[in-house]
Chain A
Amino acid sequence: MNNSSKLKRVLEGGGFAVTAECGPPKGANSDVVLKKAEMLRNKVDAVNVTDNQTAIVRMSSIAACSLLKTAGLDPVLQMVVRDRNRIALQSDILGASALGIRNVLCLSGDHHIFGNQPQAMGVFDLDSIQFVQVVKMMRDEGKILGGDDLSQPPDLFIGAAANPFADPFDFRVIRLAKKIRAGADFIQTQCIYNLYRFERWMGMARDMGLTDKAYILGGVTPLKSPGMAKYMKTKVSGMDIPDELIKRMEGVPKDKQREEGINICVETIQRLREVPGIKGVHIMAIEWEEVVGEIAERAGLLPRPVFG
C-alpha cells in the first residue's frame, strides 16, 4: 500500500477530486466507522472525518481516521482549534502523521455553546490560519512553534475551509488568500446552494491568482427535505440557501423529496465542474453517507482513479 495522500495525488495529477464526509459515532463502536468506510470505498478519493462537529462529543477524529486508514481509505483529519491549545495541536499533528494519516483540515470549529458541553472552556489558543501556518512550518521546516526541531517532520497535505457565503463578502476572498499564504494546499468550501454568489467569489479568487496556488474543492450537501433547507437557512450561521431551492423542494411530494435533494446536488456538481478553477467536490451528506456513491455516479465522477 502506497503511504501517501491519495487526495494529493489525484489533485496533483490534474484530476477532479471527490471527497466525502464521515461523522464518527457518539460512542466507542469502531464498526460504525468501518460501515461508513464500506459505503464510501471506491466512491471517493478521500474521506473527511469531522472533529466533534457542532461541539457534540463524538469519537476522536484521529482515532476514526486511523480506523479508515487501516481499512484502506485515505482519511482527511479535521482538527478544530476550539478544544486544544498549541501543545496538544502540534502533538496530535505528529501522532496523526505517525498513524499514516496524510491529510489534515485545519478549522476554527463550531462554538461550544451550540453543542452538548456548553459549560466547557473554549481554548482558541491559535486560530485556524495560525494553525495552518504551524502545520506547514512543522512539515516544511521540521520545526514547532518556538523553533525547536522535530526528529522527523510530519507528512501531511494541508487543507483549510472557506465560506464564500459569510460576511463581509468582499473580505472573504482576502481571508482565502491568507489561508493559502499560511500554507493551505487545498481548500474545501462551505456547502454551495447559491451558485451565483459562489461564482462571483470564485471570480475574485481567480483574479487574485488563488486558484493556481491551492486546489479548491466545492462543498455540497444533499437536502433531505424542505424543512432541513429552512432550518439550515435560518439556524445555521453562514449558510446561504436561495428561496427557489426551498420552493423546488416543497414542490415535490414528500416521498420524492430526498430524490429531489439528490437531483439538486448532482446538478450543482455538474455546474461546479464548469467553474474555472474548481478542482473537485466535497460531498457532505450529513448522516446519510450511503447516498454519496449514487451522487458521485450520477454526476459522472465514477470510477475513481486507482493508484498502485
Chain B
Amino acid sequence: MITGEQKPIDEIREMIAPYKRILVLGCASCVAECAAGGEKETAMLASTLRIAAKMKGEDVLIEEKTLDRQCVRDFVILLDDIIEKYDAVLSLGCGAGVQAVAEMFTEVPIIPAINTEFLGETRDQGYWLESCLGCGDCMLHHFGGICPVARCSKQLFNGPCGGAMDGRCEINPDVECAWHLIVDRLTKFGALDRLENIYPPKDWSKKQGGGPRKIVREDQQK
C-alpha cells in the first residue's frame, strides 16, 4: 500500500486560505488503510476546518466526499456532477490521486492535504513500515524476502555495513538492520553461502530510466 500522513493543520489552512468553496476529497484505498485519507479522516479534516473557519468567522463552504480510488479515472469522473460547486479541491489522496484529479479537472485548483510517504505494510495497528521502493527489478528471492533497497539505510547489496550492532541499524537503534535480518533468514534456510557471492551493481534504469515510468498492456485495453 501507499502510505502518507496528514499535513499540519496550519499548513492546510494556509493553502486553502484563498478559496471559499472547498471540497475535501478522500480516497478509500491505500490512504484509508493507513488512516490518513479514508472516509473517517476526510470527515474529521472537513469538520476541523469548518470549526476553525467558524471560530474565525470566515464565510466558507467546506464539504466532503470520499472516492473509492482517487487514482483511477473511472472513479474520479464521479466528481463531474459536483465539481462546479467548488473553487478548490483539498485532496487526501496520495500524490497519484491528487494528480489524477488535477488532470481530469483542469479548471479547479487541487491542494494536497497529506504527505505521501512510502510503499509499505501494516505491521500492526497504527504501525506502518516501508518495505519496497518500486525499483522495477525485484530481487527479494536473493535476500530471503527482505528488501535491502528499501530497508537498509545505505541500500547495500553486500551488507551488513560496519555499523550494524545487535541487529540494529547504525542510524538508529529503533531501526532493524535489514542485513541482520537477511543473514538470519538465510541461515535458517541453510542458504547463507549465497551471500558469499558479490551482488553486482544494480540497474537503476528500471527505476528512473528517464521520465515517469509507464506500463502499457494491450490485453488490458479496450
| Direct touch of chains A and B (CB < 8 A) | yes
Look across to chain B and name the residue whose beta carbon is closest to the beta carbon of A190.
B162
| Chain B residues near A238 (CB-CB < 8 A) | 161-165, 170
Instruction: Given A145-B201, A174-B195, decide whether A111 and B180 contact each other with a Cβ distance below 8 A.
Output: no
What is the interface size of chain A, counting residues whose CB is below 8 A from a CB of the partner? Answer: 35
Instruction: Given A108-B156, A238-B163, decide whether A125 and B204 contact each other with a Cβ distance below 8 A.
Output: yes
A175 touches B158 (CB 8 A): yes
A130 touches B158 (CB 8 A): yes
A166 touches B164 (CB 8 A): yes
What is the interface size of chain B, counting residues whose CB is below 8 A from a CB of the partner? Answer: 29
Could you count the A-B residue pairs with CB atoms below 8 Å apart for me: how many are there?
Answer: 98
Contacting residue for A237 out of B170, B180, B192, B199, CB 8 A:
B170
| Cα of A181 to Cα of B153 in the assembled complex, Å | 24
| Cα of A190 to Cα of B170 in the assembled complex, Å | 15
CB proximity of B100 to chain A, nearest CB, Å: 27
A82 within 8 A of B: yes
B201 touches A126 (CB 8 A): yes
Instruction: Given A86-B201, A130-B201, A171-B183, decide whether A122 and B163 contact each other with a Cβ distance below 8 A.
Output: no
| Cα of A202 to Cα of B88 in the assembled complex, Å | 67
Instruction: Given A130-B201, A145-B201, A178-B196, decide whether A166 and B162 contact each other with a Cβ distance below 8 A.
Output: yes
Most buried by B among A109, A122, A128, A145: A128
| Chain A residues near B183 (CB-CB < 8 A) | 168, 171
Instruction: Given A124-B155, A127-B156, decide whether A237 and B198 contact each other with a Cβ distance below 8 A.
Output: no
A163 within 8 A of B: yes
B74 within 8 A of A: no
16 A-B residue contacts at CB 8 Å? Answer: A108-B162, A127-B154, A127-B155, A127-B159, A129-B198, A130-B198, A145-B201, A161-B162, A163-B163, A167-B167, A167-B177, A168-B184, A175-B160, A177-B196, A178-B158, A181-B198
| Cα of A174 to Cα of B201 in the assembled complex, Å | 19
